[in-house]
């Protein structure tokens, strides 16, 4: 079994992420965070994010998000986003996210994700199988 490690994904900063000054317009980071969570489910946890929603009627919306914008990111840069699980509760988890390029952390965030039923819109407990998969990213 591999030692726990953060999930990492590379994301190109595109024109649509930027303001007229050519730097990432800060709300676009929230979209990138959500993309990171989808990538983590698909590639890190091995759970098809679309099927989770459509077939299993489960979702993982952000309940809380704290964010520090540390340095600007510019169009054409490739940022490495990392996601590390800090806490797993009954039906929620806390994750720390960083995005960096050139050795400089550009943005750091703490996300609280809730596992919920899309039918009732109420939290549901993590399955043991999912909890085991999540634990691989606790650092």
Give residue 121's pLDDT: 97
Give me the CATH number covering residue 61.
Answer: 3.10.129.10
Q: Identify whether 1 is part of a domain.
A: no
Q: Which domain holds residue 24?
A: 7-135
Q: Percentage of residues in the chain with pLDDT exceeding 70?
A: 99
3-state SS, residue 27: helix
Give residue 123's pLDDT: 98
Contact 59, 52 (CB under 8 A): yes
Q: Identify whether 49 is part of a domain.
A: yes
Give residue 91's pLDDT: 98
Q: What is the mean pLDDT of residues 115-134?
A: 97
Total of domains in the chain: 1
Give the pLDDT confidence of 33-59 residue by residue, as tens digits.
Answer: 999 999 999 999 999 999 999 999 999
Q: Identify whether 2 is part of a domain.
A: no
Q: Percentage of residues in the chain with pLDDT exceeding 90?
A: 96
Q: How many CB atoms lie within 10 A of CB 76?
A: 11
Q: Identify whether 86 is part of a domain.
A: yes
DSSP H or E segment with residue 38: helix 27-39
Give the Å distances, CA to CA, from 16 to 12, 22, 23, 38, 100: 11, 10, 10, 19, 19
Residue 65 has pLDDT above 80, yes or no: yes
Place of tokens 């039923």: 117
Give the pLDDT confidence of 82-109 residue by residue, as tens digits.
Answer: 999 999 999 999 999 999 999 999 999 9
Q: Identify whether 23 is part of a domain.
A: yes
């Amino acid at each position: 079994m591999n030692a726990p490690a953060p999930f990492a994904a590379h994301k190109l900063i595109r024109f649509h992420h930027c303001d007229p000054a050519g730097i990432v317009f800060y709300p676009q980071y929230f979209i990138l965070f959500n993309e990171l969570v989808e990538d983590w489910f698909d590639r890190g946890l091995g759970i098809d994010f679309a099927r989770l929603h459509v077939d299993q009627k489960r979702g993982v919306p952000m309940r809380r998000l704290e964010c520090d914008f540390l340095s600007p990111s510019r169009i054409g840069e490739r940022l490495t986003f990392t996601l590390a699980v800090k806490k797993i509760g009954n039906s929620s988890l806390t994750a720390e996210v960083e995005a960096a390029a050139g050795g400089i952390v550009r943005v750091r965030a703490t996300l609280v994700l809730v596992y919920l039923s899309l039918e009732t819109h109420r939290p549901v407990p993590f399955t043991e199988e999912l909890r085991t998969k999540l634990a691989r990213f606790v650092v």
